Amino acid sequence: MAASVSAGTTRTVDRALALLAEVCAEDSIGLAECARRAQLPASTALRLLRTLEGSGFVTRDDEGCFRAGSRLVQLGALALGRQSLVRIAEPVLDRLVGATGESAYLTIPGAGGTAIHIAMVEGTHAVRHTSWVGRSFPTEGLVVGRALAGDVPASGYVSELDRHEPDVTAIVAPILRPGGVAAAMSLLGPSYRIDDVTLHRYGAILAAEARTLSALLGATPSTDTTGQETGT
């Protein structure tokens, strides 16, 4: 009996993972197509997808199609934190903290208008912003959303006060790659410590380090904030 239950559980997990793989392979996918690709009856696929939806691993859009959910994106971000982008960025984050004393974050776009912090180095001050790595948050109205969209002025950075979190100033710059914006890099610190002069000084440091990291990812000086090559 125990062996039979174990086999049934394993089969259910295999089926759920097969469905999850098909959802992740597309921007969105309908139930019938997802079931067909996973070689499952539609009723079985729907039952498993509803379970995955309840756990946040998939979500449904207005048309009833399935997409990767916020929980899946979070787990992916945590895994990505051990991969190449973070490894390349870590020395840059270290330099930012060394130059400013404030906490430095690396952030990537998430699903449904969200973003996820995938790496950070804590600041050196006694009062500092602590780790939000793996946290997903909506970007609407925040400068991190502008940076991820490539919407920054010639200075190369954008900033905000008390929007990301009360009494916290955020300074953010986009990280470019050929073809688009790869991530955003930011400095977060208590607003009482970052006056206008300090903000502009930190912003210039952040923008310079963002250009350095962008170059390591293959962006060139002629790549604009949308990731496109500009004329010379």
Could you report the per-residue pLDDT of 71-105, keeping only the tens digit for each? 887 777 666 555 678 888 999 999 999 999 999 99
Q: Which of 128, 227, 142, 115 is nearest to 187 (CA)?
A: 128
Domains recognised in the chain with CATH numbers: 2-67 (1.10.10.10), 75-216 (3.30.450.40)
What is the predicted pLDDT for the residue at 230?
A: 47
What is the predicted pLDDT for the residue at 113?
A: 85
The answer to whether residue 193 scores a pLDDT higher than 80 is: yes
What is the chain's mean pLDDT, rounded? 85
Residue 40 CA to residue 18 CA, distance in Å, equals 10
Q: Which pTM value belongs to this model?
A: 0.63
208 touches 221 (CB < 8 A) = no
Residue 91 CA to residue 128 CA, distance in Å, equals 20
